Chain A
Amino acid sequence: MADEVPFEFLHMELVAHIHNTSTKEENDTCIAKLESLGYRVGLSLIERFTKDCSRFKDELDMMKFICKDFWNLVYKKQIDNLRTNHQGVYVLQDNKFRFLTQLSNGKQYMEAAPKYLAFPCGLIRGALCSLGINCIVTAEVSAMPACKFQIQIQRL
């Protein structure tokens, strides 16, 4: 299979379905559901795609892997900017995030953006989890189609 269009439409329908089957007040539940679906997909995807995590020399190396290889596979581009405070927080900035490029070029539809970011957040969390990193992933948008994903490592 070669084409990314079916995945885009499937994701669109997935978001619509999860939201249509719940009432308005349950918005947070929808986001959580989508996030956990993304998590499961991210987890198995990475399991298939790199079984050997000894290839990664450290946490930063894994982040670079997410920004380049993983992003390329899922979204056909790389993350534009990666920052870290060296204390377990990483910020990945995508200036043209694929699930937002068709939506808007600015503030229109801003309230709908979180719906389309929950699954991607879960994908990252699942991917990192299968590499042995526990984390919390959140997304932030100030003007579409740019988007920032924040990864907070959970150390035990």
Chain B
Amino acid sequence: MTVYDFYLFDRNGNCLYYAEWNRRKQPGISKDEEFKLMYGMIFSIKSFINRISPKDVQDGFLNFRTSKYKLHFYETPSGLKLVMNTDLNVGNVRDVLQHVFSSLYVEHVVKNPLTELGETITSELFRSKMDEYVRGLPFFAPKAS
């Protein structure tokens, strides 16, 4: 099991933060282009899912899977969107994404007066906390040695 990458978007679609771990293949487009596509897709899936739902939507879009990877999604009421790609064996990571928001983003970005909200996160402290947290996840499983 492992984590491939992680994206954090604000409610205006700006990618505030991106990190990758065991992502072996690059898409061959610029990062900006990739962020735009990712946000566009998330946005569309979200609204499509809400529209076709036969019942009132509760949590809405949570994740999707292909034969190779699984994409997990979590959105806060303030419109912050967290996306994590993992391999197929990883279960529900809602708690993980919630933790990233409440303990890492709030503590080290929101409460850091030197980070402007809505701008790319440059705090090394946040980057290192995030990396430490993801590498410590039970399903991160270091590469076979």
Q: Which residues of A contact B (CB under 8 A)?
A: 8-9, 12, 15-16, 102-106, 108-109, 112, 116
A109 touches B111 (CB 8 A): no
A108 touches B124 (CB 8 A): yes
* A8 and B111 contact, Cβ closer than 8 Å, known pairs A105-B125, A105-B128, A108-B124: yes
Query: How many A-B Cβ pairs are below 8 Å?
Result: 29
A105 touches B124 (CB 8 A): yes
Q: How large is the interface on B (under 10, 10 to 19, 20 to 34, 35 or more residues)?
A: 10 to 19
The chain A residue sitting closest to B122, CB to CB, is: A108
Contact partner of A15 among B107, B112, B113, B124, CB < 8 A? B113
Q: Which residues of B contact A (CB under 8 A)?
A: 107-108, 111-114, 123-125, 128
Smallest CB–CB gap between A16 and chain B, Å?
7
A104 touches B123 (CB 8 A): yes
Smallest CB–CB gap between B102 and chain A, Å?
13
Q: Cβ of A103: which chain B residues have Cβ within 8 Å of it?
A: 112-114, 125
Q: Cβ of A109: which chain B residues have Cβ within 8 Å of it?
A: 114
In the bound complex, what is the Cα–Cα distance between A12 and B110 (angstroms)?
11
Q: Cβ of A112: which chain B residues have Cβ within 8 Å of it?
A: 114
In the bound complex, what is the Cα–Cα distance between A3 and B41 (angstroms)?
40
7 contacts between A and B (CB under 8 A): A12-B113, A103-B125, A104-B124, A105-B128, A108-B124, A112-B114, A116-B113
Q: Cβ of B112: which chain A residues have Cβ within 8 Å of it?
A: 102-103
A102 touches B124 (CB 8 A): no
In the bound complex, what is the Cα–Cα distance between A104 and B125 (angstroms)?
5
Closest 10 CB pairs between A and B? A12-B113, A102-B111, A102-B112, A105-B125, A108-B124, A104-B125, A109-B114, A112-B114, A103-B112, A102-B108
